[in-house]
Amino acid sequence: MAAFSLLSQFHPNPSIPKTTTKPLAVLNKAYKMQVPYELKQGQTRLFHQLPSGLNMEVIEQKGCVLADEENTRSPGNSEKNPPLVFVHGSYHAAWCWAEHWLPFFSGFGFDSYAVSLLGQGESDAPAGPVAGSLQTHAGDVADFIQKKLMSPPVLLGHSFGGLIIQCYIANIRNKQTLEKKMLYPDLAGAVLVCSVPPSGNSGLVWRYLFSKPVAAFKVTRSLAAKAFQTDLALCKETFFTSTMEDHLVKRYQALMKESSRMPLFDLRKLNSSLPVPSVLKSSIEVLVLGANGDFIVDTEGLNETGRFYGVLPICVEGVAHDMMLDCSWEKGEDGGDEILGGTLLGKHVILVLEC
């Protein structure tokens, strides 16, 4: 159970002059993904221009009031609800949230926005071998929030997207100058979904090597060697529950294959910058949400993140790492909203679902 929202409108800048030098990115309207994601009713694809001049894809779905009189849930008021900003992880893009969670939350009055980090989805790609660093990705999200939103949002991040949000929170809490405050606007809350823990994924890898060597081999082959892109069974085992229908796995497999034109990070540089700086207890509520069927982030990784923020993590039964795409995706909303309604979103409670 969970709910989130966001609001903004931005468009590509048509006035960017042509140049004879090598561009930092392709700024045309052609799809960058060879398997483009078809938006659902009520969704809009926008492009937020970053200070670098590169465009970041944002899929927007404004909050609405449900007209179904028989629906017993009480939709929220989009004018009072905080906006929701969704951040994906590796091999994904904004579309992974647009499939289920954006329609779900917008249906209860939350303006919802999913971003595609640079080099992913339909966003522009920077020059260089990788899309950015923890700091640059967090800065891009902050730039969008600062320039396009009119109230503090709830940030939701999945997998490495959760680590980016942790970096964002650290920058808010450790800010010392007005300039930095402007760079990292305050948040109404944060939700870390099957997130990489503050120390990174190295601990996960070593635990798997010693306790689950077969699983360690599969995870390495699937993600590092990108075998999930061609091996349907491995893709299902890595991201989804065993009950996920093959035709859905194939569809998401194709989208994931096209989503990442370059790695999100240089992993060596990333690991050297971790753990995420610790933060003092603050007014920002953090929900740590995991899945008992997660093939990538283990229980200790989930608990590490919970300890870091001083909260009890919630582990949802019957879902896998890609909680927002799994065939039991609503359970992720269930666990989230039950907790969010009571502790994170407070007066912004919109529903309580029965598992």
Q: Where are the domains of the chain?
A: 43-348
- 173 within 8 A of 136, measured Cβ to Cβ: no
Alpha carbon distance 13, 47 (integer Å):
9
* Alpha carbon distance 214, 220 (integer Å): 10
Q: Burial letters for 305-339: b for 16+ Cβ neighbours within 10 Å, e otherwise?
A: bbebbebebbbbebbbbbbbbbbbbbbbbbbbbbb
* pLDDT reported for residue 209: 79
Q: What is the DSSP letter of 282?
A: -
User: Tell me: the pLDDT tens digits for 191-236?
Assistant: 999 999 999 988 887 887 788 888 888 888 989 999 999 999 999 9
- Give the whole-angstrom CA distance, residue 81 versus residue 228: 38
Distance separating alpha carbons of residues 108 and 213, to the nearest angstrom: 44
Residue 103 tokens read as: 């329609």
pLDDT for the residue 46: 96
Which of 254-258, 274-278, 335-339 shows the lowest per-residue confidence on average (mean pLDDT)?
A: 335-339
SS3 state at 55 = strand
Distance between CA 225 and CA 246 in Å, rounded?
Answer: 22
Q: Of 326, 325, 304, which is closest to residue 313 (Cα–Cα)?
A: 304
Provide the pLDDT confidence category of residue 324 given band limits of 50, 70 and 90: very high
State both tokens at 314: 């919630």
Average pLDDT over all residues of the chain: 81
Looking at residue 25, its amino acid is A
Instruction: Please indicate, yes or no, whether the overall pTM of this predicted structure exceeds 0.85.
Output: no
**Which whole number is the average pLDDT over 136-165?**
96
Between 337 and 16, residue with greater pLDDT: 337
269 CB contacts (<8 Å, ≥6 apart)? 133
The token pair at 134 is 């923890």
Please report which confidence band the pLDDT of residue 64 belongs to, taking 50, 70 and 90 as the band edges: confident
**DSSP secondary structure code for residue 54 in this structure:** -
Between 3.10.129.10, 3.40.50.1820, 3.40.50.720, 1.10.150.120, what CATH number should domain 43-348 receive? 3.40.50.1820
Which of 215-219, 306-310, 313-317 has the least mean pLDDT?
215-219
Does the pLDDT at position 343 exceed 50?
A: no
Percentages of the chain per state (helix, strand, coil), in multiples of 5: 35, 15, 50
What is the enclosing helix (H) or strand (E) of 355?
Answer: none
Higher pLDDT, residue 184 or 68: 184
- Written as one string, the DSSP assignment of 201-214 is SHHHHHHHHHH-HH
Structure letter (DSSP) for residue 317:
E
Provide, rounded to the nearest whole percent, the portion of the chain with pLDDT above 70: 76
Task: Give the model's pLDDT for residue 66.
Answer: 54
C-alpha 13: how far from its chain's center?
A: 25
